[in-house]
Amino acid sequence: MATSAHGRRLDLDGEIDRRLARSGQRWTRGRHAVVDAMKRSVAPMSVTELQAIVGDAVPLSSLYRIISDLVDAKVFIKLEFAEGFARFELDEELAAHHHHLVCHACGVVADLELGDLEVTLDTTAAAIVRTTGFVAQSHRLDFFGLCRNCVSIAS
Amino acid sequence: MATSAHGRRLDLDGEIDRRLARSGQRWTRGRHAVVDAMKRSVAPMSVTELQAIVGDAVPLSSLYRIISDLVDAKVFIKLEFAEGFARFELDEELAAHHHHLVCHACGVVADLELGDLEVTLDTTAAAIVRTTGFVAQSHRLDFFGLCRNCVSIAS
DNA sequence: ATATATGCAAAACTTTTGCATACAA
DNA sequence: TTGTATGCAAAAGTTTTGCATATAT
């Protein structure tokens, strides 16, 4: 699959179009606002954060419904980080495969792209099938600790 | 740190005692019930699942408070799997470090212990510090796919 | 004895849903 | 035109909290 230098899929908009169409969904004002906000984000976003960006033009119940529809259409994926609410980001195939750095102090969630370790993880997935019978289709790896900023404050 | 053959810490009860004491907490009937249920579990448990085990002897609000206290005392850790509610398991230092296999079809969450890959993950954590300034203290790796049972049903 | 934990009820917060109206294709 | 999406209000599900009482140490 064609990807740009930093890993994001080329023709992102076209692929999103295709996924919405496949799911029988229409390009409405609200969906444009939500998808645009997510495309500009550098980290997974909560519903509240998205609401702050799209504003009152999209009521909260519609926002939830739009996000849910986008997850159904495989445009967004849902994540939870034990915060008591969900976060969302672009589907893995629409962005570069990556992992997360979660700061225990300030709560910020940053993206992290691994290189060679991915191969190891894929190899591990294959081994899991043989030993447990579980067929791994995807994985998620998060690191927890202190971000650069909070480390400097603490020291 | 001394661990048994399958990786669980020896003197588990003593260490839990110490953590409760350090946190100024008392050994009550409710806490015994909740901790015992968790020690017997082979996978992360939701509040509802714990409630089914401990029964009406512990009202729901007390159950939530007990679990929250146990997380504060670093006896339990909180996990979320994008299910809309939290799950809990014994703190990593009280059990063997492990990862999770999450079945997309039936929702079952199973524990998975990796061997050599852990070393790779720890090495990666060290490398992250150098390249991003983020100090990784722990990590979490989950695999998503189909469990042995659901694979056989699907085929 | 005294600080901590419990039980109950009420509320807060996140998320979902019913239904009439508005809109995209 | 026709099926899909929206907006509003109401509700459902999960989790938290205030306060009087009970309990562990």
Distance of A60 CA from C12 C1′ (whole Å): 17
Confidence of residue A73 (pLDDT cuts 50, 70, 90): very high
Phi, psi torsion values for A98, nearest 5 degrees: -155, 175
Looking at residue B10, its pLDDT comes to 54
Looking at residue A9, its pLDDT comes to 53
Looking at residue A10, its pLDDT comes to 53
What are the tens digits of pLDDT across the range A45-68? Answer: 999 999 999 999 999 999 999 999
Looking at residue B27, its pLDDT comes to 96
Name residue B149's beta-bridge partners. none
Q: What is the block-wise mean pLDDT of chain B (155 residues), using blocks of 10 residues?
A: 48 92 96 96 94 95 98 96 95 88 86 78 76 86 88 76
Q: Is the CB of B62 under 7 A from strand C?
A: yes
Torsion of Cα atoms, B140 then B143 then B148 then B154, to 10° = 150
Looking at residue B122, its pLDDT comes to 78
Cα–Cα distance, B109 to B87 (Å, whole number): 10
Token pair recorded at residue B111: 């524990």
- The reply to whether residue B120 touches residue A117, judged by beta carbons under 8 angstroms, is yes
Would you say residue A136 has pLDDT above 50?
yes
Distance of B39 CA from C2 C1′ (whole Å): 32
Chosen for mutation from B124, B128, B131, B142 (greatest number of chain A CBs closer than 10 Å) is B124
Q: Which residue gives the smallest C-alpha to C1' distance to C9?
A: B61
Indicate whether this model's pTM tops 0.75: yes
Cα–Cα distance, A10 to A94 (Å, whole number): 9
Question: Which residue, A146, A150, A128, is CA-closest to B141?
Answer: A128
Of all residues in chain B, the one with the smallest CA distance to A80 is: B82
Phi, psi torsion values for A23, nearest 5 degrees: -95, 5
Name residue B46's beta-bridge partners. B87
A97 or B72, greater pLDDT: B72
Question: Which residue, A52, A43, A37, A21, is CA-closest to A89?
Answer: A43
Among A34-38, A77-81, B137-141, name the one with the lowest average pLDDT. Answer: B137-141
Looking at residue B21, its pLDDT comes to 95
The three-state secondary structure class of A8 is: coil
Would you say residue A7 has pLDDT above 80?
no
Q: Is the CB of B134 under 7 A from strand D?
A: no
